[in-house]
Structure 1
Amino acid sequence: MSLLFPGTSHSSLAESIAKRYKFTLGKCEIKKFSCGETYVKILEHVRGTECFIVQTITKSANDDLMETYLLADALRRHDAERITAIIPHFGYARQDRRASLGEPISAQLVAKLLVASGVTNIITFDLHSDQIEGFFTTPVDNLHCYQLFADYFQKKQLPDPVIVVPDTGAAKLADRLTRVFASPMAILHKTRPAHHKVSHTHLVGDVKNKTVILFDDMIDTGGSICSAKNEVIALGARKDVYVAATHAVFSGQAYGRLESADFAEIVVTDTIPLAEKLPNITVLSVVELLYKIL
């Protein structure tokens, strides 16, 4: 028997995974003390049992990670046979290098803390960069969602579609999508003069009179994706611009920006629960992608 312990960040996804793969939902207590510290207690006998933790990283990234560390540590101390952390959205993934002097490599530190807490396997979706797998000393399964998006958009039969990525960092991921979706790709060159500030300078590819699908691994504040829409329309693309992104972080002014941008449709996955649901947002489930692993 396998036990699946849900963190508090995405209980509905944990329940869906447990139901689909016939896992037993493990009982645990998770609460906050008045001082802000997190308390975790496992309420199951786990000795010799394969255990899973489901905890995505939301806008409460530090609390979500601390819950994960404490759940893993509690399971390890009670002699669980194996502890697999299913982290649909891996937080701190954009901090995978030192972009300037004085910065840490936060993604590597998060990886080390997960291993130190007792996690023996990691399952995640569309890491911001593949190099993050190398930060772990345990097996990592980085599942890709491009097939979900390809299947969805193929059914829509859009006229003359083109996949456009808002920066070169997403090009490798988009290339996988274009191979399956059988459409051309264009790349916008992006610069960041400061955090959460975006400037697009030029486009490599052709979008004139085409239906653009803007594709990225995540949407955070919405600045990049909304700027990209304005750019492709200025270059002659059709006005019905679509968006596809794996992780709907949607922080800060994201909802307001996305609503004002008036995209034809915004297609995301359920790696992160949505705080709001705009009429033009479609959510695809990643549960079936776990089939080959679970």
Structure 2
Amino acid sequence: MSTASAAARWRLLWREPQVRRGLIITLLVTVVAVFGPLLAAHAPTDMVGPVYGAPSSEAWLGHDFLGHDVLSRLLAGGLSVLWMSLAAALIALLVGVSLGLAAGFSRRRLDQTIMWGADISLAFPDLILVLLIVSMLGRQPWLIVLTVSIAFIPGVIRLARGSTVAVASQEFVEVAQMMGYSRRRILFKEILPNILTPLLVHFGNMLTWGVGILSGLSFLGYGVAPPAADWGLMINENQAGLLVQPWPVLAPALMIGIFAYGTNILAEGIGRSAARIGDKQA
């Protein structure tokens, strides 16, 4: 596929309303998470009001189980969830694509070895695997990110490998081989640009799953440690007062849901647009 053809596909992709809507929602939540701490009226650990205090003009979302300002903790609590989910998805994408390309292009013993390892890893449910490793080795952020990425890598490998096998049999790849191009150039210049669309769809799905897993870990007490602000941790800490003051639970749950919705429809929009482009080309 030529560079011009690839550029045309990206333009068609951007014209998809669902892609634009999902990207806008995802970026809005990301902006809140990144710049929210600068807008918070109080530090996330400051006790500035009564326990489970009701919303007021000074605290729009009220106070939590220790008297923290809920809005301040909400603004400060999204960065950990977002950067960890983004880092885990990126690591899984880079490692999984590299292994999947190598497996799909070699189709020999290397292919069998890589896919054997991926199949074994897929036998363990993601959340169970993450909980097992974190409970044994600790809850440091870098370890949680690495563990979540390990859970995601087998799915990326299978997707990249299947897409590589389909593209590697096409004529332009055979021409590149006949011209004596190196394997690295064929993989990263000829094959990779043509399998980016399904990989981007899967990347969006991994962001959605990552936010869910990381929030679930914090809710279960295996994620970010208190007194740090974290959306999943906020839900865990304030669930006992849900009937008294629901905003410490509802606000972070809503932010998690909005981000997951944005990444989900973004991935779905990319998939639909890619299918539409394929139909036109057919």
Which protein has the bigger strand share?
A: 1
TM-score (norm 2): 0.21
TM-score (norm 1): 0.20
Larger radius of gyration: 2
Relative contact order, CA 8 A, sep 6+: which one is greater? Answer: 2
